[in-house]
Amino acid sequence: MTCLVDTHILIWSFVEPDRLSKKVQTTLLNEENSIYYSQYSLWEISLKYSLKKLQLLQKTPEQFYEVLERSFFICKPIDNLELVAFYKLPIEHKDPFDRAIIWQAIVNDYILVSSDPKLEMYQRYGLRLL
Q: pTM, whole model, 2 decimals?
A: 0.91
Tell me: pLDDT of 57 over 90.
no
- Mean pLDDT across the chain, nearest whole number? 93
Give the pLDDT score at 101.
Answer: 96
d(CA 34, CA 32): 7
Q: Which domains does the chain have, with CATH numbers?
A: 2-129 (3.40.50.1010)
Helices (H) and strands (E) in the chain, counts: 6, 5
Q: What is the pLDDT of residues 58-96, one digit of tens each?
A: 889 999 999 999 999 999 999 999 999 998 998 887 888
